[in-house]
Structure 1
Amino acid sequence: MQIVHLSDLHFSEAYFVPEIAESMLQSINQLDPDIVVITGDLTENGFSAEYDGVKKFIDRIACKDKVLVPGNHDSKNAGYIHFEDLFENRFSNRNLGGVTVVGVDSSQPDIDEGHLGRENYGWIKEAFSGQNFKIFALHHHLVPIPLSGRENSVLVDAGDVLDLLNRCKVNLVLCGHCHIPHVWNLNNMLVVNAGTFCSSKTRGKTTQCFNLIQAENENSDNNNWKVRVSRVFPQGKMELITKTVM
Protein backbone atom coordinates (compact mmCIF):
# COMPACT_ATOMS: atom_id res chain seq x y z
CA MET A 1 0.00 0.00 0.00
CA GLN A 2 1.36 3.40 -0.99
CA ILE A 3 0.06 6.62 0.56
CA VAL A 4 1.10 10.04 -0.73
CA HIS A 5 0.82 12.87 1.79
CA LEU A 6 1.12 16.46 0.65
CA SER A 7 0.22 19.78 2.20
CA ASP A 8 0.31 23.56 1.93
CA LEU A 9 0.04 24.28 -1.79
CA HIS A 10 -0.97 27.93 -1.14
CA PHE A 11 -2.42 28.31 -4.63
CA SER A 12 -2.21 32.02 -5.49
CA GLU A 13 -0.41 34.36 -7.85
CA ALA A 14 1.99 35.29 -5.07
CA TYR A 15 3.21 31.92 -3.76
CA PHE A 16 2.27 28.99 -6.03
CA VAL A 17 5.30 27.86 -8.10
CA PRO A 18 3.92 26.19 -11.27
CA GLU A 19 7.13 24.48 -12.42
CA ILE A 20 7.63 22.81 -9.04
CA ALA A 21 3.97 21.84 -8.92
CA GLU A 22 4.27 20.17 -12.33
CA SER A 23 7.40 18.27 -11.32
CA MET A 24 5.75 17.05 -8.13
CA LEU A 25 2.58 16.07 -9.99
CA GLN A 26 4.58 13.90 -12.38
CA SER A 27 6.34 12.21 -9.45
CA ILE A 28 3.05 11.39 -7.76
CA ASN A 29 1.47 9.98 -10.90
CA GLN A 30 4.55 7.84 -11.57
CA LEU A 31 4.30 6.42 -8.05
CA ASP A 32 0.66 5.45 -8.72
CA PRO A 33 -0.39 5.69 -5.04
CA ASP A 34 -3.35 3.86 -3.55
CA ILE A 35 -4.38 6.88 -1.45
CA VAL A 36 -3.54 10.59 -1.59
CA VAL A 37 -4.02 12.68 1.57
CA ILE A 38 -3.86 16.49 1.35
CA THR A 39 -3.70 18.23 4.72
CA GLY A 40 -4.85 21.75 4.01
CA ASP A 41 -3.81 25.21 2.96
CA LEU A 42 -4.77 24.44 -0.60
CA THR A 43 -5.15 28.21 -1.13
CA GLU A 44 -3.54 31.34 0.24
CA ASN A 45 -6.61 33.49 0.92
CA GLY A 46 -9.62 31.20 0.54
CA PHE A 47 -10.81 33.13 -2.53
CA SER A 48 -13.08 31.51 -5.10
CA ALA A 49 -10.59 31.92 -7.96
CA GLU A 50 -7.84 30.27 -5.90
CA TYR A 51 -10.12 27.34 -5.12
CA ASP A 52 -11.03 26.93 -8.79
CA GLY A 53 -7.34 26.87 -9.75
CA VAL A 54 -6.26 24.39 -7.10
CA LYS A 55 -9.24 22.13 -7.82
CA LYS A 56 -8.14 21.83 -11.46
CA PHE A 57 -4.61 20.98 -10.32
CA ILE A 58 -5.70 18.37 -7.76
CA ASP A 59 -7.98 16.74 -10.31
CA ARG A 60 -4.86 15.95 -12.36
CA ILE A 61 -3.51 13.72 -9.59
CA ALA A 62 -4.19 10.23 -10.97
CA CYS A 63 -5.57 8.60 -7.84
CA LYS A 64 -9.26 7.88 -7.32
CA ASP A 65 -9.04 7.81 -3.50
CA LYS A 66 -8.19 11.29 -2.24
CA VAL A 67 -8.81 12.62 1.27
CA LEU A 68 -8.66 16.40 1.76
CA VAL A 69 -9.04 18.61 4.80
CA PRO A 70 -8.94 22.43 4.92
CA GLY A 71 -6.25 24.53 6.58
CA ASN A 72 -6.40 27.92 8.26
CA HIS A 73 -5.69 29.73 4.97
CA ASP A 74 -8.56 27.86 3.30
CA SER A 75 -10.98 29.12 5.95
CA LYS A 76 -10.04 32.77 5.46
CA ASN A 77 -12.66 35.05 3.92
CA ALA A 78 -15.34 32.37 4.42
CA GLY A 79 -13.33 30.12 2.11
CA TYR A 80 -14.56 27.00 3.89
CA ILE A 81 -17.81 27.48 1.92
CA HIS A 82 -15.89 27.01 -1.35
CA PHE A 83 -14.13 23.98 0.14
CA GLU A 84 -17.50 22.37 0.86
CA ASP A 85 -18.76 23.17 -2.64
CA LEU A 86 -15.73 21.66 -4.39
CA PHE A 87 -14.52 18.91 -2.04
CA GLU A 88 -17.69 18.08 -0.09
CA ASN A 89 -17.15 17.34 3.58
CA ARG A 90 -14.65 19.11 5.83
CA PHE A 91 -14.87 16.05 8.09
CA SER A 92 -14.72 12.55 6.67
CA ASN A 93 -14.44 8.89 7.61
CA ARG A 94 -13.50 6.51 4.82
CA ASN A 95 -12.65 2.83 4.72
CA LEU A 96 -10.40 2.10 1.75
CA GLY A 97 -9.59 -1.58 1.60
CA GLY A 98 -7.80 -2.39 4.84
CA VAL A 99 -7.27 1.28 5.70
CA THR A 100 -9.44 3.67 7.73
CA VAL A 101 -8.78 7.36 7.05
CA VAL A 102 -10.39 9.97 9.28
CA GLY A 103 -9.99 13.56 8.10
CA VAL A 104 -10.93 16.52 10.28
CA ASP A 105 -11.15 20.29 9.88
CA SER A 106 -8.96 21.81 12.59
CA SER A 107 -9.34 25.36 11.25
CA GLN A 108 -11.52 28.24 12.41
CA PRO A 109 -12.53 31.15 10.17
CA ASP A 110 -9.86 33.88 10.06
CA ILE A 111 -7.93 32.39 13.00
CA ASP A 112 -4.49 30.83 12.55
CA GLU A 113 -4.67 28.58 15.61
CA GLY A 114 -6.16 25.11 15.30
CA HIS A 115 -8.88 23.52 17.42
CA LEU A 116 -10.73 20.23 17.09
CA GLY A 117 -13.16 20.24 20.02
CA ARG A 118 -14.63 17.64 22.36
CA GLU A 119 -17.80 17.43 20.28
CA ASN A 120 -15.81 15.52 17.66
CA TYR A 121 -14.05 13.02 19.92
CA GLY A 122 -16.96 10.55 20.07
CA TRP A 123 -17.38 9.94 16.35
CA ILE A 124 -13.60 9.80 15.85
CA LYS A 125 -13.40 7.04 18.47
CA GLU A 126 -16.22 5.18 16.76
CA ALA A 127 -14.60 5.54 13.33
CA PHE A 128 -11.42 3.91 14.60
CA SER A 129 -13.17 0.99 16.34
CA GLY A 130 -12.08 -1.61 13.76
CA GLN A 131 -8.79 -3.41 13.13
CA ASN A 132 -7.75 -1.60 9.94
CA PHE A 133 -4.55 0.37 9.44
CA LYS A 134 -5.63 3.70 10.96
CA ILE A 135 -4.77 7.15 9.56
CA PHE A 136 -5.77 10.48 11.10
CA ALA A 137 -5.41 13.59 8.93
CA LEU A 138 -5.62 17.25 9.96
CA HIS A 139 -3.93 20.50 9.05
CA HIS A 140 -2.47 21.76 12.33
CA HIS A 141 0.41 19.82 13.84
CA LEU A 142 -0.14 17.95 17.09
CA VAL A 143 3.46 18.02 18.31
CA PRO A 144 5.98 20.91 18.23
CA ILE A 145 8.23 20.82 15.18
CA PRO A 146 11.97 21.66 15.20
CA LEU A 147 13.03 24.93 13.55
CA SER A 148 9.58 26.48 13.96
CA GLY A 149 10.66 29.01 16.59
CA ARG A 150 8.35 29.88 19.46
CA GLU A 151 5.65 27.22 19.23
CA ASN A 152 2.25 28.91 19.29
CA SER A 153 0.28 27.11 16.60
CA VAL A 154 0.03 23.53 17.83
CA LEU A 155 -3.60 22.41 18.01
CA VAL A 156 -5.17 24.05 21.08
CA ASP A 157 -6.49 20.73 22.38
CA ALA A 158 -3.50 18.70 21.15
CA GLY A 159 -3.04 16.82 24.44
CA ASP A 160 -6.59 15.48 24.50
CA VAL A 161 -6.47 14.60 20.80
CA LEU A 162 -3.16 12.75 21.19
CA ASP A 163 -4.60 10.81 24.12
CA LEU A 164 -7.68 9.92 22.06
CA LEU A 165 -5.61 8.73 19.09
CA ASN A 166 -3.31 6.73 21.35
CA ARG A 167 -6.29 4.96 22.93
CA CYS A 168 -7.68 4.25 19.45
CA LYS A 169 -4.33 2.71 18.46
CA VAL A 170 -3.97 4.99 15.45
CA ASN A 171 -0.97 4.06 13.30
CA LEU A 172 -0.36 7.27 11.39
CA VAL A 173 -1.12 10.96 11.94
CA LEU A 174 -0.65 13.28 8.95
CA CYS A 175 -0.28 17.05 9.48
CA GLY A 176 0.94 20.19 7.74
CA HIS A 177 0.77 23.89 8.61
CA CYS A 178 4.31 24.93 9.58
CA HIS A 179 6.05 24.01 6.27
CA ILE A 180 8.74 21.98 8.03
CA PRO A 181 8.81 18.23 7.33
CA HIS A 182 9.39 16.03 10.35
CA VAL A 183 8.48 12.66 11.85
CA TRP A 184 7.86 11.77 15.49
CA ASN A 185 7.29 8.24 16.81
CA LEU A 186 5.01 8.49 19.85
CA ASN A 187 3.94 5.26 21.56
CA ASN A 188 4.32 3.42 18.25
CA MET A 189 2.21 6.04 16.44
CA LEU A 190 3.97 7.91 13.64
CA VAL A 191 3.18 11.62 13.56
CA VAL A 192 4.26 12.81 10.12
CA ASN A 193 4.43 16.50 9.25
CA ALA A 194 4.70 17.63 5.63
CA GLY A 195 6.60 20.57 4.22
CA THR A 196 5.07 22.86 1.64
CA PHE A 197 4.30 20.97 -1.56
CA CYS A 198 4.85 23.63 -4.22
CA SER A 199 4.81 27.12 -2.72
CA SER A 200 7.65 29.59 -2.30
CA LYS A 201 6.88 29.79 1.44
CA THR A 202 9.74 27.54 2.57
CA ARG A 203 11.50 27.93 5.92
CA GLY A 204 15.24 28.00 6.52
CA LYS A 205 17.03 25.48 4.32
CA THR A 206 13.97 23.30 3.76
CA THR A 207 12.62 22.86 0.26
CA GLN A 208 9.37 21.77 -1.32
CA CYS A 209 8.52 18.10 -0.77
CA PHE A 210 5.83 15.54 -0.10
CA ASN A 211 5.73 12.32 1.93
CA LEU A 212 5.48 8.77 0.62
CA ILE A 213 4.29 6.23 3.19
CA GLN A 214 4.58 2.55 2.30
CA ALA A 215 2.76 0.17 4.62
CA GLU A 216 2.80 -3.62 4.42
CA ASN A 217 0.90 -6.01 6.67
CA GLU A 218 3.56 -8.49 7.80
CA ASN A 219 1.16 -10.90 9.48
CA SER A 220 -2.59 -10.68 9.01
CA ASP A 221 -3.13 -12.79 12.13
CA ASN A 222 -1.67 -10.21 14.53
CA ASN A 223 -2.05 -7.09 12.36
CA ASN A 224 1.62 -6.07 12.42
CA TRP A 225 2.53 -3.39 9.88
CA LYS A 226 5.92 -2.59 8.41
CA VAL A 227 5.93 1.15 7.60
CA ARG A 228 8.44 3.22 5.64
CA VAL A 229 8.26 7.01 5.38
CA SER A 230 10.19 8.71 2.58
CA ARG A 231 10.43 12.32 1.50
CA VAL A 232 10.10 13.13 -2.21
CA PHE A 233 11.58 16.34 -3.64
CA PRO A 234 11.22 18.16 -6.97
CA GLN A 235 12.56 16.17 -9.93
CA GLY A 236 11.73 12.94 -8.10
CA LYS A 237 14.65 12.64 -5.67
CA MET A 238 13.62 10.45 -2.72
CA GLU A 239 15.04 10.17 0.81
CA LEU A 240 14.11 7.48 3.35
CA ILE A 241 13.27 9.13 6.67
CA THR A 242 12.21 6.28 8.92
CA LYS A 243 11.10 2.65 8.91
CA THR A 244 9.40 0.82 11.73
CA VAL A 245 7.16 -2.11 12.60
CA MET A 246 3.96 -1.39 14.48
Structure 2
Amino acid sequence: MTRIVHLSDFHFDGSPELRRALRSLVDSAIARQPDLVVVTGDLSADGRPAELDEVARELGRFGPVPRVVIPGNRDLEPSVGPPGEARPLPVDSDLDYFLALEPALTLGFDEAGPGPTDGGEAGAGDPEAAWIARFGGLSAGLKSADVHVVAVNSTPRLRSEALEAAARQMRRAAPGALRVFALHHGLLPVPGRKLRDGDLTHRSGDVLALLADLRVDLALHGHIHRANAWQLSDGRGAIVVASAGALVNDGRRDASYLEILAERGRLSIWRRSVSTGRPTLLYEGARAARR
Protein backbone atom coordinates (compact mmCIF):
# COMPACT_ATOMS: atom_id res chain seq x y z
CA MET A 1 0.00 0.00 0.00
CA THR A 2 1.12 3.55 -0.78
CA ARG A 3 -0.03 6.36 1.51
CA ILE A 4 0.18 9.96 0.25
CA VAL A 5 -0.66 13.10 2.18
CA HIS A 6 -1.60 16.11 0.06
CA LEU A 7 -1.18 19.50 1.74
CA SER A 8 -1.90 22.92 0.27
CA ASP A 9 -2.59 26.59 0.86
CA PHE A 10 -0.99 27.41 4.20
CA HIS A 11 -0.83 31.15 3.47
CA PHE A 12 1.69 31.32 6.29
CA ASP A 13 2.28 34.94 7.34
CA GLY A 14 4.47 34.50 10.41
CA SER A 15 1.63 35.11 12.87
CA PRO A 16 1.53 33.04 16.08
CA GLU A 17 -1.90 31.73 15.10
CA LEU A 18 -0.77 30.33 11.75
CA ARG A 19 2.49 29.11 13.25
CA ARG A 20 0.50 26.94 15.68
CA ALA A 21 -1.94 25.86 12.97
CA LEU A 22 0.85 24.85 10.59
CA ARG A 23 2.58 22.84 13.29
CA SER A 24 -0.68 21.05 14.11
CA LEU A 25 -1.25 20.24 10.44
CA VAL A 26 2.25 18.80 10.01
CA ASP A 27 1.91 16.87 13.30
CA SER A 28 -1.33 15.32 12.03
CA ALA A 29 0.14 14.46 8.64
CA ILE A 30 3.27 12.91 10.19
CA ALA A 31 1.04 10.75 12.40
CA ARG A 32 -0.45 9.18 9.25
CA GLN A 33 3.02 7.76 8.46
CA PRO A 34 2.95 8.71 4.78
CA ASP A 35 5.16 7.26 2.09
CA LEU A 36 5.00 10.53 0.14
CA VAL A 37 4.08 14.17 0.81
CA VAL A 38 2.71 16.35 -2.01
CA VAL A 39 2.39 20.10 -1.36
CA THR A 40 0.62 22.18 -4.01
CA GLY A 41 1.48 25.78 -3.31
CA ASP A 42 0.47 28.99 -1.57
CA LEU A 43 2.75 28.00 1.27
CA SER A 44 3.28 31.67 2.15
CA ALA A 45 1.11 34.76 2.41
CA ASP A 46 3.33 36.92 0.22
CA GLY A 47 6.39 34.91 -0.82
CA ARG A 48 8.68 36.56 1.72
CA PRO A 49 11.88 34.64 2.43
CA ALA A 50 11.10 34.64 6.17
CA GLU A 51 7.72 33.02 5.52
CA LEU A 52 9.20 30.40 3.22
CA ASP A 53 11.99 29.66 5.70
CA GLU A 54 9.52 28.76 8.45
CA VAL A 55 7.42 26.61 6.14
CA ALA A 56 10.54 24.82 4.87
CA ARG A 57 11.54 24.06 8.47
CA GLU A 58 8.10 22.67 9.23
CA LEU A 59 8.09 20.46 6.14
CA GLY A 60 11.56 19.31 7.12
CA ARG A 61 9.97 17.54 10.09
CA PHE A 62 8.80 14.83 7.70
CA GLY A 63 12.42 13.72 7.76
CA PRO A 64 13.32 11.12 5.11
CA VAL A 65 9.79 10.91 3.67
CA PRO A 66 9.97 12.06 0.01
CA ARG A 67 8.36 15.45 -0.65
CA VAL A 68 7.10 16.97 -3.90
CA VAL A 69 6.62 20.71 -3.36
CA ILE A 70 5.52 23.33 -5.91
CA PRO A 71 4.65 27.04 -5.56
CA GLY A 72 1.32 28.81 -5.79
CA ASN A 73 0.41 32.29 -6.92
CA ARG A 74 0.89 33.75 -3.42
CA ASP A 75 4.46 32.43 -3.38
CA LEU A 76 5.45 33.99 -6.71
CA GLU A 77 3.40 37.11 -7.45
CA PRO A 78 2.11 40.13 -5.48
CA SER A 79 -1.56 39.71 -4.64
CA VAL A 80 -4.36 41.36 -2.71
CA GLY A 81 -7.44 39.84 -1.17
CA PRO A 82 -8.09 37.25 1.53
CA PRO A 83 -6.78 33.69 1.23
CA GLY A 84 -8.60 31.84 -1.51
CA GLU A 85 -9.77 35.08 -3.13
CA ALA A 86 -6.46 36.70 -4.10
CA ARG A 87 -6.12 38.89 -7.17
CA PRO A 88 -2.70 39.53 -8.72
CA LEU A 89 -1.58 43.14 -8.67
CA PRO A 90 -0.34 44.80 -11.86
CA VAL A 91 3.40 45.13 -11.95
CA ASP A 92 3.26 48.92 -11.59
CA SER A 93 1.22 48.80 -8.37
CA ASP A 94 4.16 49.08 -5.97
CA LEU A 95 2.35 51.43 -3.62
CA ASP A 96 -0.73 49.21 -3.51
CA TYR A 97 1.50 46.20 -3.01
CA PHE A 98 3.22 47.58 0.07
CA LEU A 99 -0.02 48.98 1.46
CA ALA A 100 -1.55 45.53 1.05
CA LEU A 101 1.36 43.96 2.93
CA GLU A 102 1.26 46.42 5.82
CA PRO A 103 -1.27 44.55 8.01
CA ALA A 104 0.90 41.43 7.91
CA LEU A 105 3.84 43.41 9.29
CA THR A 106 2.12 43.56 12.70
CA LEU A 107 1.54 39.83 13.08
CA GLY A 108 4.51 38.89 15.24
CA PHE A 109 7.36 38.10 12.88
CA ASP A 110 9.86 38.96 15.63
CA GLU A 111 8.55 36.21 17.89
CA ALA A 112 10.43 33.61 15.88
CA GLY A 113 13.70 34.99 17.19
CA PRO A 114 16.59 36.69 15.41
CA GLY A 115 17.18 35.81 11.80
CA PRO A 116 18.66 37.21 8.62
CA THR A 117 17.55 40.61 7.48
CA ASP A 118 15.78 41.10 4.18
CA GLY A 119 19.03 42.26 2.65
CA GLY A 120 20.76 38.99 3.49
CA GLU A 121 17.98 36.55 2.74
CA ALA A 122 18.41 34.20 -0.19
CA GLY A 123 16.22 35.41 -3.03
CA ALA A 124 15.11 38.64 -1.35
CA GLY A 125 13.37 40.76 -3.98
CA ASP A 126 13.08 37.85 -6.44
CA PRO A 127 10.21 35.48 -5.55
CA GLU A 128 11.30 32.73 -7.93
CA ALA A 129 14.87 32.80 -6.61
CA ALA A 130 13.58 32.77 -3.03
CA TRP A 131 11.49 29.71 -3.79
CA ILE A 132 14.23 27.84 -5.66
CA ALA A 133 16.74 28.52 -2.86
CA ARG A 134 14.47 26.73 -0.39
CA PHE A 135 12.62 24.08 -2.40
CA GLY A 136 14.88 23.39 -5.36
CA GLY A 137 12.71 24.29 -8.35
CA LEU A 138 9.38 25.55 -9.65
CA SER A 139 8.49 22.06 -10.87
CA ALA A 140 9.11 18.76 -9.11
CA GLY A 141 8.63 15.04 -9.43
CA LEU A 142 9.20 11.59 -8.05
CA LYS A 143 9.73 8.28 -9.81
CA SER A 144 9.51 4.86 -8.19
CA ALA A 145 8.15 1.44 -9.00
CA ASP A 146 4.92 2.20 -7.09
CA VAL A 147 4.19 5.87 -7.77
CA HIS A 148 5.20 8.37 -10.45
CA VAL A 149 4.55 12.05 -9.68
CA VAL A 150 4.95 14.98 -12.06
CA ALA A 151 4.24 18.43 -10.57
CA VAL A 152 4.27 21.70 -12.51
CA ASN A 153 4.16 25.42 -11.78
CA SER A 154 0.89 27.04 -12.90
CA THR A 155 1.74 30.67 -11.95
CA PRO A 156 1.05 33.03 -13.65
CA ARG A 157 -0.27 30.35 -16.02
CA LEU A 158 0.49 26.79 -16.99
CA ARG A 159 2.81 27.22 -19.95
CA SER A 160 2.72 24.86 -22.92
CA GLU A 161 6.46 24.13 -22.62
CA ALA A 162 6.01 23.05 -18.99
CA LEU A 163 3.08 20.84 -19.94
CA GLU A 164 5.04 19.25 -22.79
CA ALA A 165 7.95 18.54 -20.44
CA ALA A 166 5.52 17.07 -17.91
CA ALA A 167 4.04 14.81 -20.58
CA ARG A 168 7.50 13.49 -21.48
CA GLN A 169 8.20 12.76 -17.82
CA MET A 170 4.84 11.06 -17.29
CA ARG A 171 5.46 8.71 -20.22
CA ARG A 172 8.52 7.39 -18.34
CA ALA A 173 6.37 5.95 -15.53
CA ALA A 174 7.10 2.37 -14.57
CA PRO A 175 4.46 -0.17 -15.65
CA GLY A 176 1.75 -0.38 -12.99
CA ALA A 177 2.91 2.70 -11.08
CA LEU A 178 0.26 5.10 -9.78
CA ARG A 179 0.46 8.10 -12.11
CA VAL A 180 -0.02 11.41 -10.30
CA PHE A 181 -0.07 14.91 -11.80
CA ALA A 182 0.01 17.94 -9.48
CA LEU A 183 -0.35 21.69 -9.88
CA HIS A 184 -1.57 24.63 -7.81
CA HIS A 185 -4.53 26.00 -9.76
CA GLY A 186 -7.77 24.09 -10.16
CA LEU A 187 -8.87 21.82 -12.98
CA LEU A 188 -12.59 21.68 -12.15
CA PRO A 189 -15.10 23.69 -10.11
CA VAL A 190 -16.03 22.25 -6.71
CA PRO A 191 -19.27 22.33 -4.71
CA GLY A 192 -19.57 25.06 -2.11
CA ARG A 193 -17.43 27.64 -3.88
CA LYS A 194 -18.50 30.17 -6.48
CA LEU A 195 -16.10 29.96 -9.41
CA ARG A 196 -13.88 33.04 -9.64
CA ASP A 197 -11.50 34.33 -12.29
CA GLY A 198 -8.19 32.57 -11.83
CA ASP A 199 -9.59 29.56 -9.95
CA LEU A 200 -8.95 27.19 -12.84
CA THR A 201 -5.74 26.76 -14.75
CA HIS A 202 -5.58 28.05 -18.32
CA ARG A 203 -7.31 25.67 -20.79
CA SER A 204 -8.12 23.23 -18.02
CA GLY A 205 -10.26 21.11 -20.36
CA ASP A 206 -7.33 20.55 -22.70
CA VAL A 207 -5.11 19.75 -19.72
CA LEU A 208 -7.58 17.11 -18.54
CA ALA A 209 -7.74 15.60 -22.04
CA LEU A 210 -3.95 15.36 -22.11
CA LEU A 211 -3.86 13.75 -18.66
CA ALA A 212 -6.39 11.18 -19.86
CA ASP A 213 -4.22 10.42 -22.89
CA LEU A 214 -1.24 10.02 -20.55
CA ARG A 215 -3.19 7.48 -18.47
CA VAL A 216 -2.87 9.60 -15.34
CA ASP A 217 -4.70 8.04 -12.39
CA LEU A 218 -4.85 11.05 -10.08
CA ALA A 219 -4.60 14.82 -10.53
CA LEU A 220 -3.99 16.87 -7.38
CA HIS A 221 -4.40 20.62 -6.95
CA GLY A 222 -4.97 23.31 -4.34
CA HIS A 223 -5.93 26.99 -4.69
CA ILE A 224 -9.68 26.50 -4.30
CA HIS A 225 -9.50 25.78 -0.54
CA ARG A 226 -12.09 23.01 -0.67
CA ALA A 227 -11.48 19.29 -0.21
CA ASN A 228 -13.20 17.48 -3.06
CA ALA A 229 -12.77 14.61 -5.49
CA TRP A 230 -14.31 14.05 -8.92
CA GLN A 231 -13.94 11.02 -11.17
CA LEU A 232 -13.99 11.71 -14.91
CA SER A 233 -14.10 9.30 -17.82
CA ASP A 234 -13.29 9.84 -21.49
CA GLY A 235 -14.73 6.47 -22.52
CA ARG A 236 -11.35 4.75 -22.44
CA GLY A 237 -10.62 5.03 -18.74
CA ALA A 238 -11.00 7.29 -15.72
CA ILE A 239 -9.03 9.94 -13.89
CA VAL A 240 -9.69 11.23 -10.37
CA VAL A 241 -9.25 14.97 -9.78
CA ALA A 242 -8.80 15.85 -6.10
CA SER A 243 -8.44 19.27 -4.50
CA ALA A 244 -6.97 19.71 -1.04
CA GLY A 245 -8.41 21.78 1.76
CA ALA A 246 -6.41 24.60 3.28
CA LEU A 247 -4.94 25.87 6.51
CA VAL A 248 -7.14 28.98 6.26
CA ASN A 249 -10.54 29.74 4.69
CA ASP A 250 -11.24 26.05 4.21
CA GLY A 251 -14.98 26.50 3.86
CA ARG A 252 -15.45 24.72 7.19
CA ARG A 253 -14.47 25.54 10.74
CA ASP A 254 -11.18 23.66 10.65
CA ALA A 255 -8.16 23.14 8.44
CA SER A 256 -7.72 19.94 6.49
CA TYR A 257 -5.56 17.95 4.11
CA LEU A 258 -6.01 14.88 1.93
CA GLU A 259 -4.92 11.35 2.75
CA ILE A 260 -4.68 9.09 -0.29
CA LEU A 261 -4.34 5.31 -0.18
CA ALA A 262 -3.42 3.22 -3.21
CA GLU A 263 -3.41 -0.56 -2.92
CA ARG A 264 -3.98 -3.48 -5.30
CA GLY A 265 -5.43 -1.37 -8.05
CA ARG A 266 -7.77 0.55 -5.75
CA LEU A 267 -7.71 4.20 -4.71
CA SER A 268 -9.30 5.95 -1.74
CA ILE A 269 -9.17 9.65 -0.84
CA TRP A 270 -10.04 11.07 2.56
CA ARG A 271 -10.40 14.59 3.90
CA ARG A 272 -8.55 14.58 7.21
CA SER A 273 -9.52 17.26 9.77
CA VAL A 274 -6.53 18.84 11.52
CA SER A 275 -8.42 19.73 14.71
CA THR A 276 -10.21 16.42 15.26
CA GLY A 277 -8.31 13.96 13.07
CA ARG A 278 -11.67 12.76 11.78
CA PRO A 279 -11.57 11.33 8.23
CA THR A 280 -14.28 11.98 5.66
CA LEU A 281 -14.32 9.72 2.62
CA LEU A 282 -14.31 11.68 -0.65
CA TYR A 283 -13.65 8.88 -3.14
CA GLU A 284 -13.17 5.13 -3.24
CA GLY A 285 -12.92 2.96 -6.30
CA ALA A 286 -10.78 0.94 -8.65
CA ARG A 287 -8.04 2.46 -10.73
CA ALA A 288 -9.64 2.12 -14.14
CA ALA A 289 -7.61 0.20 -16.72
CA ARG A 290 -7.54 2.20 -19.94
CA ARG A 291 -8.45 0.65 -23.27
Partner of 2:270, secondary structure, is strand
1:91, CA displacement in angstroms? 1.3
Q: Is the 8 A contact 2:269 2:284 kept in 1?
A: yes
Q: How does 1:168-183 map to 2 (within 5 A)?
A: 168-183=214-229
Q: How does 1:136-151 map to 2 (within 5 A)?
A: 136-151=181-196
Partner of 1:242, secondary structure, is strand
- Cα distance in structure 2, aligned partners of 1:238 and 1:150: 26
1:67 maps to 68
2:178 maps to 133
> 1:8 and 1:15, CA in 2 relative to 1: closer, same or farther beyond 3 A?
farther
* Paired letter, 2:269: V
Q: How many residues align?
A: 230
- Range 56-65 or range 178-187, more displaced: 56-65
Partner of 1:135, secondary structure, is strand
- Cα distance in structure 2, aligned partners of 1:69 and 1:15: 24
Q: Are residues 1:95 and 2:120 paired?
A: no
Between the two proteins, what is the percent identity of the paired residues?
A: 30
1:43, CA displacement in angstroms? 0.2
Q: Is the 8 A contact 2:5 2:36 kept in 1?
A: yes
Partner of 1:93, secondary structure, is strand
1:232 maps to 272
* Paired letter, 1:182: N
Cα deviation digits, residues 120-143 of structure 1 (max 9, x gap):
232222212233210001000111
2:239 maps to 189
CA RMSD across the alignment: 1.8
Q: Are residues 1:243 and 2:284 paired?
A: yes
Which of structures 1 and 2 has the bigger CA Rg?
Answer: 2
Q: Are residues 1:106 and 2:154 paired?
A: yes
2:28 maps to 27
Q: Is the 8 A contact 1:33 1:63 kept in 2?
A: no
* Paired letter, 2:30: N
Structure 2 stretches lacking a partner, 5+ long: 79-125
1:18, CA displacement in angstroms? 3.1
1:20, CA displacement in angstroms? 2.8
Partner of 1:232, secondary structure, is strand
- Cα distance in structure 1, aligned partners of 2:17 and 2:128: 20
Cα deviation digits, residues 100-127 of structure 1 (max 9, x gap):
100100012xxxxxx2122223222221
Q: Are residues 1:7 and 2:8 paired?
A: yes
> 1:173 and 1:31, CA in 2 relative to 1: closer, same or farther beyond 3 A?
same
TM-score between the two structures when normalised by the length of structure 2: 0.74
- Cα distance in structure 2, aligned partners of 1:185 and 1:16: 36
Q: Is the 8 A contact 1:36 1:63 kept in 2?
A: no
| Structure 1 consecutive aligned stretches of length 4 or more whose deviation exceeds 6 Å | none
TM-score between the two structures when normalised by the length of structure 1: 0.87
Cα deviation digits, residues 124-166 of structure 1 (max 9, x gap):
2221223321000100011112222143221112122111101
- Range 44-53 or range 59-68, more displaced: 59-68
Cα deviation digits, residues 69-101 of structure 1 (max 9, x gap):
100000025422211011111112320332110
Q: Is the 8 A contact 1:24 1:236 kept in 2?
A: no
- Range 6-15 or range 159-168, more displaced: 6-15
> 1:146 and 1:14, CA in 2 relative to 1: closer, same or farther beyond 3 A?
farther
- Cα distance in structure 2, aligned partners of 1:239 and 1:150: 24
Structure with the larger helix share: 2
- Cα distance in structure 2, aligned partners of 1:173 and 1:67: 14
Q: Is the 8 A contact 2:34 2:65 kept in 1?
A: no
Q: Is the 8 A contact 2:8 2:43 kept in 1?
A: yes
